[in-house]
Chain A
Amino acid sequence: MSAFARVRELLSAELRQIAPPSVGFWQILGGLTLFLLFLEITTGILLMVYYRPSADEAYESVFYIINDVQLGWLIHGMHRWGAQLFILLVLVHLIRVYFAEAYRERELNWVIGVVLLLVVGAFAFTGTLLVWDQRAFWGTDAVRRVLAEIPIVGRAILYFLWGGTELDANALLRFYVFHVGLLPWIAIGLVMVHLYLVSRQGIFHRAEAQEQQSAQTYGDIVLRGLIFVVLSFGIVLTLAVIFPVELSGRADPLTYQSVKPPWYFLPAYGLLKLVPKAAGVALASLGVLGLFAAPWLGRNSWVAWGLGMLGIATVALLAAYGWRW
């Protein structure tokens, strides 16, 4: 038996194992986010070939990628739209896990998942600035103003993340380092732990379903997942072609432009519009802490369901307020 055949035998044995029958459409979401992470990393590495992280050249190099590099517009568009879909799927995955109460007895994995959500947010936030156009610049500068108002901590955060109190070339380089140097390692490491824990603790299924005779193997699930992988690839591709990236002109630190945040930051934006900035930041931090503590807060199913609905309603209302304002 050759080395190749041996591994193949091992893999097909793995794929022939019987999976719980409750694994259906919703359980694919987690796997799909894995594919999108792969897509983001691949297109991201390709973009790094031409991107130049300096205030003098960042915008121009993006311009160059979109205009002169063959298929550059497509790679850039897929990176952008892939990120949007990624965030959307991560959120849906989180909500699905919450309402299925799949976090029971898997509290640590839930916490890791929430950390991953924050990492995804950090990816989106740092990535937006890299284009260095007007929208990116003033969107990030608005965050600088919020942070500057938080006593003591705000200044420390600014020095750490921005490399100073001004949004300038220093900040751009730092954002770049976070986006391509630091966050990917954190994300990959956490995803590996996340997946390892899933495989060790088993896919969550309800007790009553266990009795039934299962009709599917893990191989079936993988194949079914592949259909959705192909589908989501097609969706990202379509979005990138039909809605090409629009730049809003080279960042000009002396020409203010009012910018709405992207949809995934709208709840935070709405909250900051509603209450004083320092209080808003405190409330948002409290909300994130609550998300971490969800497995312990909702020991009772009804309480968990109520809390979940309340949380979603609050976030939706804040987003609507931020969007309308």
Chain B
Amino acid sequence: MTEKHERRTFLSKLLGGALAVGVVGVIGAVMAYLFPPERRVFNPARRRMRVARADEIPLGKGKQVLFDGEPVWVLHLKGGWSAFSAICTHQGCIVHWDEKRLILSCPCHAGLFDTNGNVLSGLPRRPLKRFRVSVVRDEIFIGPGEG
């Protein structure tokens, strides 16, 4: 009788212990989940991205940056700042900023775009996608949307 009783208490202790281990495991997983991740590469709700300080890009120059994986040209022009997707609307090559001619040119099929993003010549049919540019105090930011 006592042997049986001992076995029984041992089993119920084992059961209680196993259940406790399970609960601790679940709580641990939940804590890991609730701890906000440090890695934050992907940020789709982002509305702006810093490009450079305004005096880092002199008049007539441009800077190519990545905005959510898309190459973007930020240009300093006489009329102000402009930003265009660097992806050619013909077949998707990356266009270059030609500082001498003030033209965005595609190296693949020689498509040319003016500083409004419109097609000057070549095979592309649609203008380059625009991005919003804003100079906040002395910093240049770009963001999604026309402008």
Contact = CB atoms under 8 A, between A and B. Distances in A.
Direct contact of A and B (CB under 8 A): yes
Contacts of B29: 71, 74
A49 B42 contact: no
Interface string A297-322: 00000000000000000000000000
Interface in A257-287: none
A68 B35 CA distance: 11
Interface in B1-47: 29-30, 32-37, 39-42, 44-45
B37 A69 contact: yes
Contacts of A69: 33, 36-37
Contact of B33 (A52, A57, A63, A71): A71
A41 to B, nearest CB: 13
A67 B37 CA distance: 10
Contacts of A75: 33
Interface residues of B, number: 14
A9 to B, nearest CB: 16
Contact of A60 (B34, B36, B39, B45): B45
A260 B34 CA distance: 34
Interface string A19-63: 000000000000000000000000000100100100011001101
A46 B45 contact: no
A74 B25 CA distance: 14
- Number of chain A interface residues as a range: 10 to 19
A72 interface: yes
Given A68-B37, A71-B33, A57 B45 contact: yes
A60 B35 contact: no
A64 interface: yes
Given A60-B44, A60-B45, A68 B34 contact: no
A52 B45 CA distance: 11
A70 interface: yes
B33 A72 contact: yes
Nearest to A71: B33
B38 to A, nearest CB: 9
B45 to A, nearest CB: 5
6 contacts: A46-B30, A67-B42, A70-B35, A71-B32, A71-B33, A74-B29
Given A69-B33, A75-B33, 4 more contacts: A49-B34, A61-B45, A68-B39, A71-B32
Sorted from nearest, which 7 A-B pairs have the closest CB atoms? A60-B44, A70-B32, A68-B37, A71-B33, A57-B45, A71-B32, A71-B29
